[in-house]
């Protein structure tokens, strides 16, 4: 395995959340299949090594809230480990202000904006229905009939010529 002088580093981590889930992606590109992962209600622990690069990877994430440690999904590849963690909620739809219990910024932890959804965002189906309802109420497509008075507007009147024709003839 790795020698006693192995460099200990934290692997890059990305996270995102929904109302009931937390998504965590641990990048293990430099740690081929030599790792251990442990998921607990308030903690995620990861250890791994790369003997060729003499590196040891360690990660201990103390989570902001509790998760269902028995009900998580994991997808592993040569590049990363993706976790889908079920939140153990006190309140329906409670969003966490951050992933970790500590407010300290960690250099290896980033937000995964590809998976992120804000609290005020809805599911795509709901969003489409809301958008269609809004457009129909605004009459964007113009299907509603206008009365003749509304159709003929005061600014549709004929405008006087900008130049006097006599002055224009003198210039020629």
pLDDT given for residue 38 in this prediction = 95
Any idea what the Cα angle at residue 66 is, between residues 61 and 71, rounded to 5°?
95
pLDDT given for residue 4 in this prediction = 67
pLDDT given for residue 33 in this prediction = 73
Contact at 8 Å (CB) between 21 and 83? no
Label residue 26 exposed, middle or buried (CB < 10 Å: 0-12, 13-18, 19+). Answer: buried
pLDDT given for residue 86 in this prediction = 93
pLDDT given for residue 135 in this prediction = 58
pLDDT beneath 70, residues of the chain? 1-4, 32, 90-93, 122-157, 159-172
List the one residue out of 127, 152, 26 whose CA is nearest residue 81.
26
Produce one character per residue of 82-94: b if its CB has 16 or more CB atoms within 10 Å, e if not. bbebebeeeeeee
pLDDT given for residue 117 in this prediction = 80
pLDDT given for residue 13 in this prediction = 97
pLDDT given for residue 164 in this prediction = 61
pLDDT given for residue 37 in this prediction = 93
Please count the helices (runs of H) and the strands (runs of E) in the chain.
Answer: 3, 9
């Amino acid at each position: 395995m790795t020698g006693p002088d192995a460099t200990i580093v934290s692997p890059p981590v990305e996270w995102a959340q929904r109302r009931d889930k937390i998504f965590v992606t641990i990048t293990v590109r430099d740690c081929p299949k030599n790792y251990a992962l442990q998921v607990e209600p308030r903690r995620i622990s990861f250890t791994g090594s790369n003997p060729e690069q003499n590196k040891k990877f360690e990660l201990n994430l103390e989570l902001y809230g509790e998760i269902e440690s028995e009900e998580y999904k994991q997808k592993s590849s040569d590049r990363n480990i993706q976790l889908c963690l079920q939140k153990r909620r006190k309140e329906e739809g409670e969003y966490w202000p951050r992933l970790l219990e500590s407010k300290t910024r960690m250099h290896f932890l980033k937000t995964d904006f590809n998976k992120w959804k804000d609290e005020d965002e809805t599911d795509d189906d709901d969003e489409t229905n809301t958008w269609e309802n809004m457009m129909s109420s605004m009459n964007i497509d113009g299907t509603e009939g206008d009365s003749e008075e509304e159709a003929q507007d005061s600014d549709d009147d004929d405008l006087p010529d900008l130049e006097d024709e006599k002055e224009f003839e003198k210039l020629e």
